[in-house]
Amino acid sequence: MTGKRLTGQVVLVTGAGQGIGQGIALALAKEGAHVALAGRTKAKCDLVAEEIESVGGTALSLACDVTDRSQVDRMVAETVEQFGSLHGLVNNAASSDQQLLEEVTDADVELCWRSGAMGTLYAMQAALPHLRAAGGGSIVNFGSSTAVYGNATFGAYAMAKEAIRGLSRVAAREWGRYGIRVNVVVPVAMSPASVEFSHKNPERFDAMRNSLALRRVGDCETDIGRAVVSLMSDDLSYLTGDTLMLTGGM
């Protein structure tokens, strides 16, 4: 174990069973945090928990569908019951759907809205009393470059992701008095979706990668996870209500 900037801190990460969520969880644990891993497929979170424990960290694996408020409430309650407190929340879970805008249905919007915007709201509301009891803390929510730049076929997803950014700014205003910081990360990273895209469309993937200023797609742990560690720690204690663009210079 290296670092230790987050020793004794308890952080809950949703969508932690793979990709960016997994990378964040590993980075947090390596800095000394006790990490609760939540996801729809608990078996995936179990594997991440084993990986964390193999490097000397502490993790709790939980099953949770963030579209269901009762499951989110239980997820937060079980985290606090296990570790005694809560200092940080990372709302990474979300579902995406791609359709041309004229073909977007209510079901498409509902999928992205409930898993993204509503799931984020549920977790923030459930976490609030515990973060206040801890004397403050940090919430990291997730936006998307597809929404910031208006990528074609991401209409329903963009609606939900930009709603999360608005929600985060309001929460930063309302909850700053409690010492709670709320920020948004917009990542470009080798998530499972990016890996699949690179395999199916290698030329288009190469073109996307080469359009980035840094000419590489971010690593889920070292590029995204370590940045989230900074947002959870005192390193960025004066940053709130803002969006951190971790896009490699898109």
| Per-residue DSSP letter, 177 | G
Alpha-carbon gap, residue 182 to 140, rounded angstroms? 6
Alpha-carbon gap, residue 234 to 246, rounded angstroms? 19
Residue 1, pLDDT > 60, answer no
Alpha-carbon gap, residue 211 to 189, rounded angstroms? 14
**5 assigned to some structural domain:** no
pLDDT for the residue numbered 76: 98
Span 120-167, pLDDT tens digits: 999 999 999 999 999 999 999 999 999 999 999 999 999 999 999 999
Residue 195, pLDDT > 90, answer no
**4 assigned to some structural domain:** no
Q: Average pLDDT in the 87-113 region?
A: 95
**1 assigned to some structural domain:** no
**172 assigned to some structural domain:** yes
**Given the residues 122, 157, 178, 238, the one annotated as active site:** 157
Residue 81, pLDDT > 60, answer yes
**195 assigned to some structural domain:** yes
Q: Average pLDDT in the 56-66 region?
A: 97
Return the ∠ at Cα 239 (arms to 235 and 244), rounded to 5°: 95
pLDDT for the residue numbered 166: 98
The CATH number of residue 80's host domain is 3.40.50.720
Please say if 178 is a catalytic residue: no
Q: Average pLDDT in the 32-43 region?
A: 98
**135 assigned to some structural domain:** yes
Task: Say if residues 57 and 29 touch (Cβ distance below 8 Å).
Answer: yes
pLDDT for the residue numbered 198: 87
**149 assigned to some structural domain:** yes
Q: How many domains, the chain?
A: 1
pLDDT for the residue numbered 3: 53
Q: Average pLDDT in the 196-200 region?
A: 86
What is the domain range of residue 89?
Answer: 10-246
Percent of the chain's residues with pLDDT above 70:
99
Task: Say if residues 10 and 84 touch (Cβ distance below 8 Å).
Answer: yes
Residue 193, pLDDT > 90, answer no
| Own/partner long-range contacts of 147-153 (Cβ < 8 Å, ≥24 apart) | 148/186, 148/245, 149/250, 152/100, 153/98, 153/99, 153/100, 153/101
**142 assigned to some structural domain:** yes
Tell me, what amino acid is at 190?
M
pLDDT for the residue numbered 228: 98
Alpha-carbon gap, residue 14 to 40, rounded angstroms? 9
- Enumerate residues 6+ apart whose C-beta is below 8 A from 170: none
